[in-house]
Chain A
Amino acid sequence: MTAHPEVASAPTPAPPTAGAQRPTNQRVRRLSRTDLIVVSVMVAVPTLLVLVLVWFPAIASVALSFTNWNGIGPLSSVKGVGLTNYVNVTTNYPPFWPAVQHNLLWLAVMFVIATPIGMFLAVLLDKEIKFSRFYQTAIYLPVVLSLALIGFVWQLIYSRDQGLLNAVLGTTVDWYGDPRYNLWAALVATGWRHVGYVMLLYLAGLKAVDASLREAAAIDGANERQVFFRVVFPVMRPINVIVLVVTVIDSLRAFDLVWVINKGRNGLELIATLVTQNVVGEASRIGFGSAMATFMLLISSVFVVIYLTIVMREERQK
């Protein structure tokens, strides 16, 4: 069930031409018996781990979403139920559509607000200016903190009775509890971290842009804005895609922050928290939770493919 012998077993020798294309590589065929065993083990152990703990569960989630398994009976008693779980999730499960909306809003805010801020700060800091080191450190410091911890740090600001925000504004809003505000409160806290992360990625990308390109453009009379949009931005296309993918995937799997706030209830429903609630809680509805898990896998796989296409294209060029 879990084994994929064609992948996990010893590597097949390459066709003779492959060796000629890549002179740096040694062909497997030339190895001694012991070396062949060593090489096989070196590939098999990590591959097996990834297949058993990531890929098999991914496939199993999809498969279970078409069954009625309640998690108690033996697997042999499982019956296929077609799309019943999907129908139930979409028509008969009140938190589902709000959760989808929240995830979309999450993505939109990260993409339209936090990402451009991070990019803008990176452009400002990608110059020889004083204190640049301090500015950078301050802005990406939140990146080292876990989102669970970030939930706590911001609670000191958002709390109704003891929080800073109410003390300053003179209000008595429960920022984490009130369903009118709590998603926005969570988004500010996440955005705080996301900006730093995006800035870091773009700073690395900007450093990689060939300085002579900019100089050439500047000599031709382009102003700073033109240089950025016409020269720098296009050159950074791979990093733009990576930032896009990171933003989408992180928005899709947003979990830790809302889980520490209130386990994803009362205005903070997200798809990831609904899946978790359906498995870990008292009511374990396997097929039902799997249908939502499949939904997540489907969306993420689109972006994983985009990401891999970019990365592997560069890989082949080397």
Chain B
Amino acid sequence: MTAVAEPVTVAPQPRRFPKPPRIVLHVFLWVVSLTWLFPIAWAVFNSFRDYAYTAQNGYVSFGGFTIKNYVNAWTQGDFGLHFWNSVVITVPAVLITLFLAACMAFVLTRFTFKLNLTLLAVFLAANLLPPQALLIPVYRMFRAIPMPEFLSDSGTLLNTQLGVILVNIAFQLGFCTFVLSNYMKTIPAEIYESARVDGASVTRQFFQLTLPLCRPPLAALATLQVTWVYNEFFWATVLLQRGDKFPITSSLNNLQGQFFTDYNLLSAGSVLAMLPVLIIFFALQRQFVSGLTLGATKG
């Protein structure tokens, strides 16, 4: 019986580092994961607690649960209005960005002309420039562009949501065009050839062939873009000067003043603001992750 165990001990595996037991790895990863979740969990936890209770017992305590903070945050922070503003900015910005990026990518991949690669570079680089460095001319330009009264109470493009939508589109076009053109390259040319022989115009090829085939990257990009535009802070903050026009992300800055002394209320406000992106993230995680890594890895 003892002879059976012998070979194992005589032949230790050569040139192999002893592997730390799996359990160490798991303990480490659990600790990291919980640490990473903690700030969000802490905000959620305290958002459900009564201010008077935490004021008396301190925040490191348990009890005083209520949903009152959410009701108060919603009304005091005017969340209905700001959520609506976010919708008004995000939905058109994402739809137009994806449509224009698809147009651009379609032409870049389907037709050969001298500036193919240059144009792609011009688009992609635009995505990486620091927005603050472009602020002065954009700000001045928007202030100088007159707008009809019914579209803008300031009479200019500055301080309108249309202006914010336009800037968002311009900044996101590069990334989307790049990702879409990479995908469109994988569409076999024969499909287009036969369509052309059948007399399909470029418009029909684009709408009936390319766009339906590009559903996967469009879904990934849409998920990502909704998150990004919803999260966009800088342009909305500087281009919209009136608080009632701010989307959620920019309005947070005003909440800080109002909720200054009540951190439970601040927590509830933060949780409300993160709710849309968290829902998108958990519902469409695969899309989100593939979108985020599409630009970086490709293929």
Contact = CB atoms under 8 A, between A and B. Distances in A.
Interface of A: 7, 11-14, 18-19, 22-28, 31-32, 34-35, 38-39, 42-43, 45-47, 49-58, 60-61, 64, 71, 121, 124-125, 129-131, 134-135, 137-149, 152-157, 159, 162-164, 167-168, 192, 195-196, 200-201, 203-205, 208, 221, 223-225, 239, 242, 245, 249, 252-253, 255-256, 259-260, 271-273, 275-276, 279-280, 286, 289-290, 293-294, 296-297, 300-301, 303-304, 307-308, 311-312, 314-316, 318
Contacts of B123: 46-47, 50
B71 interface: no
B17 A223 contact: yes
Contacts of B120: 312, 315
A148 B136 contact: no
B298 interface: yes
Interface stretch (B1-9, B148-156, B211-219, B232-240): B232-240
Given A275-B136, A290-B136, A308-B125, 6 more contacts: A7-B119, A24-B185, A144-B227, A164-B42, A260-B253, A311-B124
B203 to A, nearest CB: 5
Contact of A57 (B134, B202, B269): B134
Nearest to A4: B122
A8 B237 CA distance: 31
B197 interface: no
A53 B170 contact: yes
Contacts of A316: 117
A171 B273 CA distance: 30
A156 B133 CA distance: 31
Contacts of B36: 138-139, 141-142, 192, 195-196
16 contacts: A24-B189, A28-B113, A42-B104, A43-B119, A50-B126, A56-B137, A129-B22, A138-B34, A144-B227, A145-B231, A152-B273, A153-B39, A155-B266, A156-B39, A260-B253, A286-B136
A114 to B, nearest CB: 12
Given A11-B113, A26-B110, A145-B274, A168 B136 contact: no
A293 B136 contact: yes
Given A138-B33, A139-B33, A148-B249, A204 B113 contact: no
A11 B107 contact: yes
Contacts of B201: 32, 34-35, 38
A38 B249 contact: no
Contacts of B238: 276, 279-280
Q: Is the interface of B mostly helix, strand, loop or mixed?
A: helix
B252 A162 contact: no
Contacts of A35: 201-203
Q: Which 4 A-B pairs have the closest CB atoms?
A: A146-B231, A204-B293, A53-B170, A57-B137
Given A154-B39, A249-B130, A293-B134, A143 B60 contact: no
A311 B295 CA distance: 10
A213 B32 CA distance: 30
A234 B292 CA distance: 22
A275 B135 contact: yes
A205 B296 contact: yes
B141 interface: yes
A204 B22 CA distance: 23
A53 to B, nearest CB: 4
B203 A38 contact: yes
Given A57-B141, A135-B29, A276-B238, A19 B112 contact: yes
B10 interface: no
Contacts of A303: 128
B175 to A, nearest CB: 11
A140 B281 CA distance: 10
B293 A272 contact: no
B138 A53 contact: yes
B166 A297 contact: no
Contact of B135 (A138, A154, A276): A276
Nearest to B169: A49
A290 B134 CA distance: 9
Nearest to B273: A149
